[in-house]
Amino acid sequence: MVGFGVLGKMLILLGVFIILMGLLLLLGEKIPWIGRLPGDIIIRKKNFTFYFPLATSILISIILTLLFMLFRK
């Protein structure tokens, strides 16, 4: 069973993650390369647009992994 201390830390990390994602969404338009990397998939049809930021997601994942590894120690 998960103790309250571990659950509290997980909720704090989740909250920080949600805040960071919200900031990224707000500031995303001001960062010119975010979402327009080679490897991001954009399919445009007549009345339909499908967007999947694959390369951007991988880059953000690598950055977050490095940050979590840095702050863990």
Tens digits of residue pLDDT in 32-49: 766 778 888 889 999 999
Q: Which domain holds residue 22?
A: 1-31
Do 25 and 38 reside in the same domain of the chain? Answer: no
Residue 42 near residue 36 (C-beta atoms within 8 A): no
Q: What is the mean pLDDT of residues 6-26?
A: 84
Q: Rounded CA gap, 38 and 43, in Å?
A: 14
pLDDT band at residue 73 using 50, 70 and 90 as cut-offs = low
27 token code pair = 């500031």
Do 22 and 49 reside in the same domain of the chain? Answer: no
- Structural domains in the chain (count): 2
30 vs 73, more confident = 30
Do 25 and 43 reside in the same domain of the chain? Answer: no
Do 25 and 36 reside in the same domain of the chain? Answer: no
Model pTM?
0.55
